[in-house]
């Protein structure tokens, strides 16, 4: 590692350590930058390049991680806000909406007022579980065991109301295995993720069928060329298999890289899509 790179790494590591230790006081950009002897402008740029997110967003991640734990331990919304260093319940509400895509009350009650339809189906690459809310598709997962797949889905929102029902949203989503999805009417998605995750998942939708991209290329397209590792983490957290085509991303070396539902399945999907996109003439 070059001397300047090592210096920058040490600065970011120190900044992360400081944020984790002092998040309850919600330190400002200027305060954190001063701690590592940089101007706010240069610290913001350097941190974003190395961490794949802004200092403010990282502070929010740390804060909401603490808030989640308090809510799980039955703290009130108000006490959770104060314990997290926020001025009140309204700021806690804004934080959860921004990061989790739901209110802290909805998170606390485990999706108590959320209705989720689900169904089991077959695809060219194995059995899949498809789930949807009134807002759109929230989960598509390949599975080996039906009960385990359903339990995994239910663990995400243990208090939600689950109904085994193949609704129109799910049927439209399943057409993707037989048709060019760009020619279907828009399939709605109901995703819970950070701004960065959503941006990564949106970028995956732009990769044409039969083509591949790399973690580094996606990071570069998001104006975060040093965030390839963060991109890989976001891709690994993709909750909607195949429809959000995380299988189309490989390593810059040409190696497949990981896949939540197995590298053998990833290989099969890539080959299947390549054949669909570039059919060979019959001999």
Active site residues: 246
Q: What is the 3-state secondary structure (H, E, C) of the chain?
A: CCHHHHHHHHHHHHHHHHHHHHHHHCCCHHHHHHHCCCCHHHHHHHHHHHHCCCHHHHHHHHHHHHHHHHHHCCCCHHHHHHHCCCCCHHHHHHHHHHHHCCCHHHHHCCCCCCEEEEEEEEECCEEEEEEEECCEEEEEEECCCHHHHHHHHHHHCCCCEEEECCCHHHHHHHHHHCCCHHHCCCCCECCCCCHHHHHHHHHHCCCCCCCCEEHHHHHHHCCCCCCHHHHHHHHHCCCECCCCCHHHEECCCCCCCCCCCCHHHHHHHHHHHHHHHCCCCCC
Q: Is 32 helix (H, G, I), strand (E, B) or coil?
A: helix
Partners of residue 189 on adjacent β-strands? 137
């Amino acid at each position: 590692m070059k001397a300047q790179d090592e210096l920058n790494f040490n600065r970011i590591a120190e900044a992360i350590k400081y944020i984790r230790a002092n998040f309850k006081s919600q330190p400002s950009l200027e305060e954190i930058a001063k701690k590592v002897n940089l101007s706010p402008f240069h610290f913001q740029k350097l941190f974003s390049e190395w961490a794949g997110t802004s200092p403010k967003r990282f502070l929010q991640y740390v804060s909401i991680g603490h808030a989640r734990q308090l809510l799980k331990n039955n703290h009130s919304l108000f006490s959770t806000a104060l314990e997290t260093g926020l001025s009140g319940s309204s700021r806690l509400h804004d934080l959860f909406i921004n990061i989790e895509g739901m209110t802290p009350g909805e998170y606390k009650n485990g999706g108590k007022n959320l209705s989720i339809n689900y169904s089991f189906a077959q695809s060219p690459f194995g059995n899949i579980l498809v789930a949807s809310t009134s807002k759109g598709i929230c989960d598509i997962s390949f599975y080996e065991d039906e009960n385990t797949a359903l339990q995994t889905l239910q663990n995400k929102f243990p208090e939600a109301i689950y109904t085994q029902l193949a609704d129109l949203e799910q049927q439209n989503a399943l057409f993707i295995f037989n048709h060019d999805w760009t020619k279907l009417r828009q399939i709605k998605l109901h995703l819970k993720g950070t701004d960065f995750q959503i941006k990564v998942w949106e970028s995956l939708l732009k990769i044409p069928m039969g083509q591949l991209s790399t973690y580094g290329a996606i990071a570069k397209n998001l104006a975060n060329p040093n965030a390839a590792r963060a991109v890989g983490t976001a891709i690994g957290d993709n909750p909607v298999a195949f429809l959000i085509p995380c299988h189309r991303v490989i390593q810059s070396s040409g190696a497949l890289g990981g896949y939540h539902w197995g590298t053998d399945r990833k290989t099969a999907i890539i080959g299947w899509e390549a054949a669909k996109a570039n059919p060979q003439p019959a001999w």
